[in-house]
Amino acid sequence: MLLKFTKMHGLGNDFVVVDAVSRKVFFNKSQIERLSDRNWGIGFDQLLVVEPPSNPDMDFRYRIYNSDGSEVEHCGNGARCFAKFVLDRELTHKRVINVETKRGAIQLRVIDNGLVTVDMGAPSFVPADLPFSAELNDGLYPLMVDGDDYLITPVSVGNPHAVLKVDTLQDEQVQNLGAKIESHECFPSKVNVGFMQVVNPAEINLRVFERGVGETQACGTGACAAVVAGIKQGWLAPKVTAHLRGGDLHIEWAGEGEPILMTGPAAKVFEGQIYL
């Protein structure tokens, strides 16, 4: 089958986006792995498949697959690319778009200068929601890795995150410790790992080791998770700029029970076609 696709990125976190509204498209694990290969395929962090909604109150549904073929619940950078894609392809003319995802409904608002604000829903700090094998408490959780204890804030923003506050951001720490926490036995579904350096109450530097992918240039859900973790611990203000390797995201959270609002750019790189 000849597959038409659009290559996009949100702050360097890159995606292949496929229109499954106009034409039915199905992928298996081996096809996704081949397409994601940066030497033999197209190359991407995630594959986004745009589908018709199953709920008549929604405008679209979309599915998100990691480069290893695993399906995930949510992706903030992908959501922004999704919004630009459906507008560019004239699948909709709405500026406020309601979308079904694996984790539930989200709302996307396209604003000036090509920026998109995503209502990411309310976060959860309940360990079972990640899931994370620990008793519920009101603070930080110790996690032992290779005999050392690390303090993490576990948070679900539709997908699972473990946030660590660090003094400096080091390659070895992100790559090695990130990989070990991602597959730690306390996270039976694995976990995304965020390394957060607090610059001041309104700014953080952040690197994220994503489950099933590795470190990416930017992670929208990771930025949301880090900011709400920092607000919960009293380190951050309600509005924060997260500096990621690929650029900046602006995160707002008013507190318990309130949705996270994430604003950032999305860009098209090129369109193409490839045989599956």
Residue 104 has pLDDT above 90, yes or no: no
Can you tell me which residue has the tokens 């032992």? Answer: 144
Q: What per-residue confidence (pLDDT) applies to 44? A: 96
Q: pLDDT tens digit string along 38-94?
A: 999 999 999 999 999 999 999 999 999 999 999 998 899 999 999 999 999 999 999
- Of the pLDDT bands very low, low, confident and very high (cuts 50, 70, 90), residue 103 is confident
- How far apart CA 208 and CA 218 sit, in angstroms, is 7
Q: ∠154-44-93 over CA atoms, to 5°?
A: 90
Backbone angles phi, psi at 184, to 5 degrees: -65, 145
Structural domains in the chain, CATH included, are 2-121+265-275 (3.10.310.10), 127-258 (3.10.310.10)
- Token pair, residue 18, equals 């496929």
Contact 58, 100 (CB under 8 A): yes
Q: Which of 91, 100, 137, 95 is nearest to 117 (CA)?
A: 95
In the structure, what pLDDT confidence band is assigned to residue 114 with cuts at 50, 70 and 90? confident
Q: What is the dihedral of CA 111, 113, 119, 124, to 10 degrees?
A: -160
DSSP bridge partners of 3: 274
* Residues contacting residue 2 through CB under 8 Å, at least 6 positions apart: 273, 274, 275, 276
Binding residues: 13, 46, 66, 76-77, 159, 192, 210-211, 220-221
Q: DSSP string covering 207-267, please?
A: EEEETTTEE-S--HHHHHHHHHHHHHTTSS-SEEEEEETTEEEEEEE-STTPPEEEEE--E
Give the angle subtended at the CA of 264 by the CAs of 220 and 82, to the nearest 5°: 75
272 has pLDDT over 90: yes
Q: Select which of 81, 186, 219, 224 is catalytic.
A: 219
Q: What angle (nearest 5°) sits at the alpha carbon of residue 161, between those of residues 13 and 155?
A: 130
Residue 11 · residue 249 · CB < 8 Å: yes
Q: Which residues are CB-neighbours of 145 under 8 A, at least 6 positions away? A: 177, 180, 181, 184
Tell me the pLDDT tens digit for each residue of 168-203: 999 999 999 999 999 999 999 999 999 999 999 999
Question: Could you confirm whether 75 is annotated as catalytic?
Answer: yes
DSSP string, 133-200: -S---SS-EEEEETTEEEEEEEEESSSEEEEEE-SS--HHIIIIIHHHHHT-TT-TT--EEEEEEEEE
The whole-angstrom separation of Cα 29 and Cα 88 is: 28
Q: What is the mean pLDDT of the chain?
A: 95
pLDDT value, residue 264 = 97
pLDDT tier at 265 (50, 70, 90 boundaries)?
very high
Q: Give residue 248's pLDDT band: very low, low, confident or very high (50, 70, 90).
A: very high
Q: What is the pTM of this model?
A: 0.91
Q: Could you give phi then psi for residue 177, rounded to 5 degrees?
A: -70, -35
219 is catalytic: yes
Q: Are 45 and 17 in contact (CB under 8 A)?
A: no
Q: Mind listing the pLDDT tens digit for each residue in 115-136? A: 999 999 999 999 999 999 999 9
Catalytic residue among 75, 81, 186, 224: 75
Query: Mean pLDDT, to the nearest integer, of 157-175?
Result: 95
pLDDT of residue 113: 82
Residue 139: band (very low, low, confident or very high) from pLDDT cuts 50, 70, 90: confident
Using the CB atoms, write b or e for 198-208: b if 16+ within 10 Å.
beeeeebbbbb
What does the alpha-carbon distance between residue 195 and residue 208 come to, in Å, rounded to a whole number? Answer: 6
Are the CB atoms for 122 and 260 separated by under 8 Å?
yes
pLDDT at position 276, please?
Answer: 84
pLDDT of residue 112: 78
